[in-house]
Amino acid sequence: MNKPKDHLSPLSSCCRLERVKLLEYEAKQLLADAGVLVPVSSLVQTSEALSLPLPVVLKSQVPIGGRGKLGGVQIIEQVAELADAVEALLVLDIKGYLPTVLLAEEKLLIQHEHYLALRIDRIEGVVQLMAHPKGGVEIETHTSGFFTRTFEPDQVEAIASQLALSWGYEETLPATLLQYLLTDLYDCFVANDATLLEINPLIYTTEGTFIAGDCKMELDDNAAFRHDWQFEAKSTETNFVTLDLAGTIATIANGAGLAMATVDAVADSGLVPANFLDIGGGSDIKSLLLAFERLMGFTHLQGIIINIVAGISRCDEIARAIIAAQAHIPTLPPLYIRLAGTNYEEAMELLTDAGIATLPTLEDCIIEAQEAHHL
Ligand code: GDP
Ligand code: MN
């Protein structure tokens, strides 16, 4: 077979492949734009904001799969469960990621759950279709039963009927149903310069429709110049990193450079840093409080080092968050705080009134933390 290989030849080391990983809700928006059915949904950041009738499925929007098994997907049947579930999901760490938002979706009536994916096969220079009759959270455990073939758009009719057979539909499915779905998926894949589009599960409802229950999508960053991509996925990926679950010192800093320097200084001193956290500029009290609560997931903490050089962010905001954390988190370990920059005086006043001490440099924070460790 002759295939156009030139522009998709195997990637050599000369070419850097960057992938833009989308969050589920971002990927589903692209699916919907392409005509693929997705559940009726709304984004949720507080429990008051739900505009959907119950029951709903609440899903943590982190850029990683396996959420179902880690408690990141919750079915809410009663109004009374909602507030607690939203609050719990917003601080639930999933493999080192925290969501900034949750996706609430209508709960679908499931007849079958399939696996369906399109991806670029770089060796052959083609788009490949991969499917399995049994999708869902156990997909990694399937070692056989995959249907794999090259996806040629002009063969979509034949591919659709092969797929229907491999999924066990025999003659029961309207012939065009899968055909339209595959065409829309392929168009979505190409139009967005995707390298991966995975739907797991693809839900066949009791009403006889296919709806994307979940979607994982990666786009080719090299094509960014021809799109207006404004996805949140990238920023969520870099601002928090779990370094050591048994770490004894947590860190909070602003700016990636300062956050890295803080982690390095902690490690160099012989203390064990638990995490990297860059709170960025302009963090509000609420997101700072969430950060503190997230750190409480580390069970061996003996201290938190806070190292802020405020520019866009403001020391008084940080101070207010620290005071709120002291008041609301009874298990908060000792804080070693170094603040500098915008609104420093106001912050000092607030902290002094609250009886919270600060230190002049990061080095002082580390020395105090070391001394406390040796007690
Ligand atoms: P993942 O674990 O990160 O891949 O998250 P998914 O979005 O795939 O959700 C995990 C599982 O939750 C799915 O495999 C489904 O079994 C279930 N699930 C997700 N959405 C719905 C829904 O709308 N209704 C029902 N009943 N189950 C759902
Ligand atoms: Mn999934």
Atom 10 in ligand 1: residue holding the nearest Cα: 68
Q: What are phi and psi of 293, to 5 degrees?
A: -65, -35
Segment among 91-95, 124-128, 221-225, 307-311 with least mean pLDDT: 221-225
Q: Is the pTM of this model over 0.75?
A: no
Last residue of a domain, one of 212, 236, 260: 236
Please give the average per-residue pLDDT across 60-71, as a whole number: 92
8-state DSSP, 254: S
Query: Do 258 and 230 belong together in one domain?
Result: no
Atom 7 in ligand 1: residue holding the nearest Cα: 214
**Whether the predicted pLDDT of 2 surpasses 50:** no
Domain range spanning residue 247?
240-373
159 Cβ contact partners less than 8 Å away, ≥ 6 residues apart: 129, 149, 151, 152, 182
Q: Is the CB of 249 under 6 A from ligand 1?
A: no
300 Cβ contact partners less than 8 Å away, ≥ 6 residues apart: 245, 246, 247, 248, 274
Pairwise CA distance, residues 180 & 193, whole Å: 20
Query: Do 153 and 226 belong together in one domain?
Result: yes
At 175-219, the pLDDT tens digits run 899 999 999 999 999 999 999 999 999 999 999 999 999 999 999
Query: Do 215 and 252 belong together in one domain?
Result: no
Mean pLDDT of the chain: 88
Q: Does residue 302 lie in a domain region?
A: yes
**Whether the predicted pLDDT of 111 surpasses 90:** yes
Q: Which amino acid is at 164?
A: A
**Of the bound ligands, which one is closest to the alpha carbon of residue 198?**
2
Pairwise CA distance, residues 132 & 346, whole Å: 60
Q: Is the CB of 267 under 6 A from ligand 1?
A: no
Query: Do 315 and 342 belong together in one domain?
Result: yes
163 Cβ contact partners less than 8 Å away, ≥ 6 residues apart: 129, 131, 147, 178, 182
Query: Do 22 and 141 belong together in one domain?
Result: yes
At 39-54, the pLDDT tens digits run 999 999 887 778 899 9
Please give the average per-residue pLDDT across 312-337, as a whole number: 91
Pairwise CA distance, residues 241 & 97, whole Å: 7
Q: Is the CB of 90 under 6 A from ligand 1?
A: no
> What's the first-to-final CA gap in the chain, in angstroms?
73
Q: Can you give the pLDDT at residue 154?
A: 97
Going by pLDDT thresholds of 50, 70 and 90, the confidence category of residue 97 is confident
From start to end of the chain, where are the E strands?
A: 19-21, 41-44, 56-60, 73-76, 102-106, 110-121, 126-132, 147-150, 194-205, 210-212, 216-220, 240-242, 249-253, 275-277, 303-310, 335-341
For ligand 2, the distance from its centroid to the CA atom of residue 49, given in whole angstroms, is 25
Query: Do 148 and 20 belong together in one domain?
Result: yes
Q: Is the CB of 201 under 6 A from ligand 1?
A: yes
Please give the average per-residue pLDDT across 59-79, as a whole number: 94
Query: Do 90 and 164 belong together in one domain?
Result: no
Segment among 67-81, 110-124, 235-249 with least mean pLDDT: 235-249
CATH number at 273 reads 3.40.50.261
For ligand 1, the distance from its centroid to the CA atom of residue 209, given in whole angstroms, is 16
CATH number at 149 reads 3.30.470.20
Mutate to test the pocket of ligand 1, among 214, 215, 217 (most ligand atoms within 8 A of CB): 214
Considering the chain, what percentage of its residues have pLDDT values greater than 90?
Answer: 67
Q: What are phi and psi of 143, to 5 degrees?
A: -105, -15
Please give the average per-residue pLDDT across 105-125, as a whole number: 93
Minimum-distance ligand 1 atom for the alpha carbon of 67: 3
For ligand 1, the distance from its centroid to the CA atom of residue 142, given in whole angstroms, is 17
Bridge partners (DSSP) of residue 219 are: 20, 194
Nearest to 308 by CA among 259, 235, 375, 357: 259
- The total number of structural domains that make up the chain: 3
Q: Can you give the pLDDT at residue 140?
A: 80
For ligand 2, the distance from its centroid to the CA atom of residue 349, given in whole angstroms, is 49
User: Residues within 5 Å of ion ligand 2 by Cβ?
Assistant: 200, 214
Q: Is the CB of 134 under 6 A from ligand 1?
A: no
Q: Does residue 6 lie in a domain region?
A: no
